[in-house]
Structure 1
Amino acid sequence: MTRIAYFGPQGTFTEQAARTFGEAEFISVETVPQVLAAVRAGEADYGCVPVENSVGGAVTATMDALAEDSPLIAIGEVILPVRFSILVRPGTQAEDIKTIASFPHGLTQVRQWTAENLPNAREVVTTSTAAAAAQVYDGEYDAAVSAPVAALHYPLEEFATDVADVRNAVTRFLLLSQPAALPAPTGSDRTSLAVVIAHDEPGSLASTLSELALRGINLTRIESRPLRGLYGEYRFYLDFDGHVAEQRVADALAALHRSSRQVRFLGSYPKADGSPSEPMPKNSDDDYAAARAWVTRIQEGR
């Protein structure tokens, strides 16, 4: 049976996301880097990790882990709405809650609710939302901001449920594998890259982005992370519409490979929202083929 490693103990949103990819043996792993390590070592066929949240922003642990060690590629994504439950030990009252624990993004997304309902509770960061529930059960903390599914795995009570400061908050998750044949283009695809540019050349980032713009490619996300131990130097993470099997995207990747210090391909995969990734006018594969044929005729003197 297919094995999918996911970030966090049982009861996390990542477990819920992993289960959307079909029947499998689901393996809980403590940290994001360990999920990727399990896939790299062949201990799991796939890994499911969070990559960004509409409130808390990028999940930096995932970004950093994708840039290190041997390459992995994303072959799918899922976007989940985020609604939390506040879990406590049976009998706990509001006045008893002095600490409230969760993964950083969980705490961020209920901070207003906490201020209004538990103003005396101190925030405590844990490795996952489910780890927070386990630590509440063990008596380490008083309340956990957790995925609702955690209540099925831990004998805790729901102090509150359907909690979210931003009602339309979502988290995006990636399904990762070792490099292999890519999912076929669907017309609703996303490509992800990690690019290190020449930081001491004026306009180098603008030049990088222009390689996409010149080919009519829609950039949907850009994030930066510092290069470890190199102050002032950054790695840029790019998401854009299109699939590497399309000539416009392949052409852009080739140009970035020539001009950048380093490019890591992170995958071409179907978009979770199904929105189209159609090329702009004059940038379809047919347009590229016609242009190549024209140049060939010139070269051959025809």
Structure 2
Amino acid sequence: MPIIAYFGPRGTFTEQAARTFDARAELVPHTTIPDAVDALRAGGADLACVPVENSVEGAVSATMDALAVGEPVVAVAEHVLPIRFSVLTRPGTTAADVRTVASHPHALAQVRAWLAATLPGATQVAATSTAAAAVGVGEGRFDAAVTAPVAADHYPLAALAEDVADEPDAVTRFLLLARPGTLPEPTGADRTSVFAVVSHRPGELAAMLSELSLRGVNLSRIESRPLRNRFGEYRFYLDFDGHVAEQRVGDALAALHRRSQLVRFLGSYPKADRSTAAAVPAANTDADYAESTGWLAGLRKGEHA
């Protein structure tokens, strides 16, 4: 039975996502995202589940930073989870009784309008996670918690409201991480993730991105995070369509490696939406690369057909 470390405590959206990857797995909560990733690195878990981006609040910086330092880990799967919240209180609490409402800052931001309309007098308090807010309600530190629905399975609290969300289509993308090893096989609807540190010169970022476009590789996401020991310089996180096993993607990665100060491969894995197959432009298929490689080999042997 595999062990999946996840960003806890029990009752987070990350737990809900982790359950979708392997229903047989033992799920072990950790207090922070770096703790969950470090448990994987140290061999205390076989896999780790962490959030990477939210459609409302953007990238999860703690995950991006955790992937950048320490021993390499790679994503082997992803899951996109619709985000709908429950508001939990101690039994018998009414809306009029709520003076403080706690949650993770991303969660509070996603129900800002609902809180203003329903609990206008409540002070909002940031917690380390949605589940930590539920623990705080149980301990009497807060009156209400904005949580994942699964939190109601773990804590003796009552639902003041359910199915709460300012943005009904909000989703969060989660990654399933593993130690480096055999990669998932290409499916035709894959995503590759890397981060790169480019030279601090004019045009370097544009030149890096051109290595993808020249090979017909579609960039789906780019984020930057500062290099903590080099003020004014950044590492860039890239998600693009395709699998490292494809010639065009491998060729693009090799080009990034040649022209960047540092490239870290973060995985090639199936997209959560398997219907979004990568469109490969003409002249960029593996067959095109094989034909041109054969032609060049012929030239080098003196065959000028």
Q: Aligning the two structures, in what range does the TM-score lie when normalised by the shorter sequence?
A: over 0.9
Measure how far apart 1:96 and its partner are: 1.8
CA distance in 2, matches of 1:178, 1:38: 11
CA distance in 2, matches of 1:66, 1:228: 14
1:49 and 2:50 correspond: yes
CA distance in 2, matches of 1:99, 1:205: 45
Within 5 A, what are the aligned runs for 1:271-282?
271-274=271-274, 275-282=276-283
Within 5 A, what are the aligned runs for 1:1-302?
1-22=1-22, 23-199=24-200, 201-274=201-274, 275-302=276-303
CA distance in 2, matches of 1:216, 1:148: 41
The amino acid across from 1:254 in the alignment is A
* C-alpha contact 1:242 1:278 (8 A) present in aligned 2: no
> Could you list the runs of 5+ residues in structure 2 that have no partner in the other structure?
none
The amino acid across from 1:162 in the alignment is D
Measure how far apart 1:131 and its partner are: 0.8
Could you list the per-position Cα deviations for residues 214-264 of structure 1 after superposition, in whole angstroms to 9, with x for gaps in the alignment? 000000000011111321111100000000000000000000001001100
CA distance in 2, matches of 1:227, 1:115: 37
List structure 1 runs of 4+ shifted beyond 6 angstroms.
none
- SS of the equivalent of 1:288 reads helix
Identity, % of aligned positions: 63
- SS of the equivalent of 2:149 reads coil
Measure how far apart 1:99 and its partner are: 1.2
CA RMSD of aligned residues (A): 0.7
**TM-score normalized with structure 2 length:** 0.97
CA distance in 2, matches of 1:94, 1:176: 40
**TM-score normalized with structure 1 length:** 0.98
Measure how far apart 1:95 and its partner are: 2.2
Measure how far apart 1:90 and its partner are: 1.1
State which drifts further: 273-282 or 55-64.
273-282
The amino acid across from 2:212 in the alignment is L
The amino acid across from 2:285 in the alignment is S
- SS of the equivalent of 1:149 reads helix
Measure how far apart 1:288 and its partner are: 0.4
> Could you list the runs of 5+ residues in structure 1 that have no partner in the other structure?
none
- SS of the equivalent of 2:192 reads strand
Aligned length in residues: 301
- SS of the equivalent of 2:236 reads strand
* C-alpha contact 1:50 1:171 (8 A) present in aligned 2: yes
* C-alpha contact 1:33 1:62 (8 A) present in aligned 2: yes
- SS of the equivalent of 1:232 reads coil
Measure how far apart 1:6 and its partner are: 0.7
- SS of the equivalent of 2:215 reads coil
Measure how far apart 1:127 and its partner are: 1.3
- SS of the equivalent of 2:77 reads strand
The amino acid across from 2:286 in the alignment is D
* C-alpha contact 1:187 1:278 (8 A) present in aligned 2: no
CA distance in 2, matches of 1:103, 1:8: 12
Measure how far apart 1:278 and its partner are: 3.5
